[in-house]
Amino acid sequence: MFRNKNILIGITGGIAAYKILELIRLFKKNNANVKVIMTENATNFVTPLTVRTLSNNPVYTKQFEVDNLFPEHISLGTWADIFVIAPASANTIGKIANGICDNLLTSIACAFSKPIIIAPAMNCEMWNNVFVQENIKKLKDNNYQILPPEAGFLACGTSGIGRLCAIEKICNATYEQLKYKNEKLIGKKIVITAGGTRENIDPVRFLGNHSSGKMGVALADKAYALGANVVLINTFNHKSNYKTINVNSALEMKDAVKNEQKNADCIIMAAAVADFRVKNQFENKIKKDTTNEEITLELVKNPDILSEICQSKTQNQIIVGFCAESENLIENARNKIIKKQCDYIVANDISRKDIGFSSDENEVYIIDKTQNITKIEKAPKSIVAEKIFGVIYGAD
């Protein structure tokens, strides 16, 4: 399961620290190489000797080891494929979220560029504290995977949410993080748009479309699993371990995409962006007038976001457009990639009821700028997403 994988565990001060002994055994049983860092407070709950015996490696507690040529927060970070911090106290979460590096564990977290999993455990009132939740959000927005605590009886004698999640859950999350890693995507910033934009008519009505955003979310989830730093710009609420930006209109989406484009390695425009918006939105709700059977809305064109970002792309940026067509799918997709000047177009047939909008499955054609065509047969959107990255990055 973990053969040849190097797993670094960070144990912080909390009664749940004893449970990490079983996690170490589980990792070792599945052929992982395990090294452990302990904060000073963690040593009050489990002894470094016990941890060293189970991991078959030295236990690290000091910020710097004088007999080591390289500082520990650099050498351990280079060695590890993943960093699992469990149990993570409110104190350590706050330090990491705010860039405080006053011990070995927090210094490694600050310098670590590979996946980090954080499994908090604390008193339920501490977990619900507004500042703790702000720090958790900061970490989520910056691609840390958070495994939330579970409800149950706590060491302080109360019941509530605060118990360390199941050890098996931490093990499985670690496996999923390592399972799909591909060097071509690790550390890449990939921006993905998803959903259908909404163009307001009045405060309660809008012009929209049938896009569910499922394909965009599948792409974002897969990019994250492959090791990328993901930004999802979407038109609906979506809870995730990567950064999400909620927008409504095409103009809002344009601003968000342009802002994220500056340092993006790849932008995938999977959203269904409205071609037109209402020229003059009504400030108040339009009332039904029985004497007037019709209403006229004047529409103006929305900006072509895909064309604009292709015009301003940097030399090494990859821009991927989506093409939803009800007829002449390949011909229209070929024309679109020439007109927009993007690197790839993903074309799907929206005339079919078994794929596309709102469906959990899709079948697409990927056309590159040299007009090569790759067909991805009908499959769940998560599989289609993986194959799309296989074409773009050779990551399948």
Catalytic residue annotation: 156
Identify which of 181, 154, 160, 116 has the alpha carbon closest to the alpha carbon of residue 395.
181
d(C-alpha 262, C-alpha 392), whole Å: 20
Length of the chain: 396
Contact status, residue 313 vs residue 305, Cβ threshold 8 Å:
no
Residue the block writes with tokens 């690197």: 343
What is the DSSP track for 43-56?
GGTS-HHHHHHHHT
d(C-alpha 8, C-alpha 322), whole Å: 40
Neighbour-count burial for 195-204, b at 16+ CB within 10 Å, e otherwise: bbbbbebeee
Q: What Cα–Cα distance (Å) separates residue 111 from each residue in 38, 60, 181, 263, 305?
A: 17, 16, 19, 20, 35
Burial class (CB in 10 A: 0-12, 13-18, 19+), 318: middle
Identify which of 274, 243, 265 has the alpha carbon closest to the alpha carbon of residue 256.
243
| SS3 at position 22 | helix
295-301: long-range pairs with CB below 8 Å, 24+: 297/201, 300/276, 301/275, 301/276
Residue type at position 249: S
